[in-house]
């Protein structure tokens, strides 16, 4: 890039090359002869102006190339890791793997500390085969989203699914005997202190309809085998045993397993419409009622629920912090 001083030097050199004295130039301009003036402008002034414009154009072009090189979009692929965006290098291409992968209708979550899978055609079967830090958890299914009432064993049709960083998103078109459109997002989460022992999945379910009025019912069901169960009320109190567990107003449930691991499930207080707990039989089952209302055409209803797995004993204090984080978080406007 030429500087301004360089440009001035070039102009001076040009006039020196022509051996034209400035005083003489002005004297020539004052000559009354029109022919003389014309010859002067054709021989000296016009070439000088063209030369100056050429130099200025070269300087502007150099400056433009420098500026555009600073802001020109580059083909750089970024990887999001723990909130940081890192460029993919030759080595990282070999080591980076997406969190969610989809094979046919089955989605797999595979992180260093958590693996699970879900059949997107049957969201009412929930997450299964959950493995945390190489610990197999005694979970039959968790966060099983029931979109129909009564339950149906048929697969959800008109399914479209895709992944987005930490998210797995599935959209379901209008189903038989159901006028609602549904979209479910499963999001991988880490605890606020970013400990590897506590990770989770948040489910955001969205319902809307093309009808004028349509009932919308949404539940989440979980079944597992646990040694100790505690429930958390909207008033902020823990109940020690399943025998004392309320059946209408719990917003969270904490389970401890014989292998030392823990599981915490939290429904957002604004979405927890009801809770039922069944401890009879070999496994413990519960259901959160997340939506139970009529929705209008053009109105979107969303509900949230989280499941947290911990490879260690999760205290009630730590569980209360996770509950408070969800309670104070705003509802996402989009999924």
pLDDT for the residue 41: 62
The mean per-residue pLDDT over the stretch 52-75 comes to 55
User: Do residue 155 and residue 57 come from a single domain?
Assistant: no
Q: Is residue 85 part of a domain?
A: no
User: Do residue 186 and residue 248 come from a single domain?
Assistant: yes
As a whole number, the mean pLDDT across the chain is 76
HSE-CB at 148 with a 13 A cutoff on CA atoms is 19
pLDDT for the residue 33: 57
Q: Give which of 160, 166, 201, 206 is closest to 183, Cα–Cα.
A: 206
Percent of the chain with pLDDT over 70: 66
pLDDT for the residue 88: 35
The mean per-residue pLDDT over the stretch 63-75 comes to 41
Confidence category of residue 308, pLDDT binned at 50, 70, 90: very high
pLDDT tens figures, 101-113: 999 999 999 988 8
Which stretch of 144-158, 170-184, 214-228 has the lowest confidence by average pLDDT? 144-158
Strand ranges of the sheet holding 100-103, from the earlier edge strand across to the other edge: 100-103, 106-110, 114-119, 128-132, 135-136
Which structural domain range is residue 17 located in?
A: 4-71
Residue reference for tokens 């360089």:
6
How many domains is the chain partitioned into structurally? 2
User: Do residue 137 and residue 207 come from a single domain?
Assistant: yes
Answer with the residue of higher pLDDT: 269 or 68: 269
Answer with the residue of higher pLDDT: 284 or 26: 284
Confidence category of residue 321, pLDDT binned at 50, 70, 90: very high
H helices then E strands: how many in the chain?
Answer: 6, 20
Q: Is residue 77 part of a domain?
A: no
| CATH at residue 312 | 2.70.98.10
Q: Is residue 80 part of a domain?
A: no
Which stretch of 38-47, 187-196, 254-263 has the lowest confidence by average pLDDT? 38-47
Q: Which helix (H) or strand (E) holds 29?
A: helix 22-29
pLDDT of 202 higher than 60: yes
User: Do residue 197 and residue 103 come from a single domain?
Assistant: yes
User: Do residue 115 and residue 178 come from a single domain?
Assistant: yes
What 3-state DSSP class applies to 35? helix
User: Do residue 100 and residue 45 come from a single domain?
Assistant: no
Q: Is the dihedral of CA 38, 42, 43, 45 positive or negative?
A: positive
What is the rounded distance in angstroms from the CA atom of residue 118 to the CA atom of residue 141? 10
What is the rounded distance in angstroms from the CA atom of residue 280 to the CA atom of residue 298? 42
């Amino acid at each position: 890039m030429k500087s301004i001083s360089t440009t001035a030097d070039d102009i001076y050199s040009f006039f020196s090359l022509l051996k034209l004295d400035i005083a003489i130039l002005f004297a020539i301009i004052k000559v009354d002869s029109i022919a003389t003036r014309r010859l002067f402008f054709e021989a000296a002034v016009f070439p000088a102006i063209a030369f100056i414009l050429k130099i200025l154009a070269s300087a502007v072009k150099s400056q433009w190339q420098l500026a555009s090189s600073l802001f020109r979009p580059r083909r750089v692929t970024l990887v999001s890791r723990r909130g940081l965006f890192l460029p993919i290098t030759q080595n990282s291409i070999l080591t980076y793997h997406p969190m969610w992968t989809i094979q046919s209708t089955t989605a797999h979550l595979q992180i260093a500390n958590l693996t699970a899978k879900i059949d997107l055609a049957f969201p009412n079967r929930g997450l299964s085969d959950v493995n945390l830090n190489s610990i197999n958890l005694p979970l039959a299914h968790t966060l099983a989203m029931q979109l129909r009432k009564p339950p149906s064993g048929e697969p959800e049709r008109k399914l479209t699914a895709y992944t987005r960083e930490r998210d797995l998103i599935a959209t379901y078109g209008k189903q038989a005997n159901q006028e609602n459109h549904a979209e479910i997002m499963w999001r991988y989460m880490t605890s606020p202190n970013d400990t590897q022992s506590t990770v989770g999945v948040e489910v955001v379910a969205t319902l809307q309809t093309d009808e004028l009025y349509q009932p919308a019912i949404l539940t989440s069901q979980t079944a597992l085998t646990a040694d100790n169960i505690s429930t958390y009320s909207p008033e902020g109190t823990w109940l020690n045993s399943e025998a004392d567990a309320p059946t209408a107003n719990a917003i969270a449930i904490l389970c401890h397993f014989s292998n030392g691991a823990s599981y915490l499930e939290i429904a957002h207080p604004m979405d927890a419409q009801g809770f039922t707990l069944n401890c009879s039989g070999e496994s413990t089952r519960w259901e959160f009622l997340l939506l139970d209302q009529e929705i209008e055409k053009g109105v979107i209803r969303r509900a949230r629920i989280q499941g947290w797995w911990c490879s260690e004993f999760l205290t009630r204090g730590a569980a209360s912090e996770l509950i408070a984080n969800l309670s104070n978080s705003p509802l996402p406007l989009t999924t």
